[in-house]
Amino acid sequence: MEIQKVVFKNKELDLRLAGNLHLPAEFDLNNDYPAIVVTGPMLSLKEQAQSVYAQKLTEAGYVTLTFDGAYFGESQGFPRQQELPDVKQSDIEGAIDFLESLPYVDSNRIGGLGMCGSGSYMSVAGVKEPRLKAITAVVPAISDISTSPMTNFFMPEEEVKAAKEAFENGTGELIHLNFQPRAFEEGAQYYYSSRGNRPGWSNQVVAWSQLELLTYNVKNIMEDMTKPYLVVTAENAWSQPASREIFDAAKSAVKEWVVVPEASHFDMYDLFPFVDVAFDAILPFFEKNL
């Protein structure tokens, strides 16, 4: 496998995004390859959980692309650390633009795989982006955030709106939310250990991100989902209720619900045998539908 550092654009925002392009072993420029955009958890970097899935897909013969979203990691955008669903959507569109520009990628065989927060973002991309032909969501965590435990991270709405206005007027400082406190033991075992801690990662998100997140109802959007759709969740995942909501909402004629026994939400990021069990479903799904 060859990993190339690449740069492409979020055209909507006119921002350059940093990516890792994974090419299969014995790559041949004369071949046309299926390709998969692989995105990770909220606030994540391309070298974290999504890289595990991208590399396993590439070992199976797919060209895969991971990247830092706008405002994160090596990609452009200011203020840093904004987690905005509409921006995540346009990032995915930029990734597809890039893959389509590669002469060895079969533009009729581009899929998407997203994890955790971007399991939901990628699910929405399956509704809105016609160039994506099949979608896999691994422990998708967002359905209706306004009714989810994620609101425990949020500040009072009026306080956030006032802070945003003050910053934009030049009279206030950025205010951040802590999206991955060390007290959240299961998450800490990933993000604050060698499993997931990577240079440039931060658990902080600009507070006004919550204003857009609170109005982002994935379940409603998924009522228009008709493409082949696979959801892989975990038996003990805290995200499973949200995953089930968006899966049930999808109208896809081809859709699969897979539960990995004994696993928790964060086990699915990188731990074996759980990731291998997930791929027992992921590989046949993409083979049939891409």
pLDDT, one tens digit per residue, over 128-163 is 999 999 999 999 999 998 888 788 889 999 999 999
Distance CA 153, CA 257 (A): 29
What are residue 270's phi and psi, to 5 degrees? -160, -5
Q: Give the separation between CA 188 and CA 254, rounded to whole angstroms.
A: 36
pLDDT for res 183: 65
CATH 3.40.50.1820 fits 2-143+217-289, yes or no: yes
The residue among 83, 129, 95 whose CA lies nearest residue 221 is 129
**Residue ranges, the chain, pLDDT below 50:** none
pLDDT in tens, 261-284: 999 999 999 999 999 999 999 999
Q: Is the dihedral of CA 233, 234, 240, 244 positive or negative?
A: positive
What is the DSSP code (8-state) at residue 24? Answer: -
How much is the pLDDT for 148? Answer: 81
What are the residue boundaries of the structural domains of the chain, listed by start?
2-143+217-289
Q: For residue 65, what are the CA distances in angstroms to 44, 54, 198, 229, 288?
A: 15, 7, 18, 19, 20
What pLDDT score does 180 carry?
Answer: 74
154: closest CA among 219, 215, 241, 78? 215
pLDDT (0 to 100) of residue 123? 98
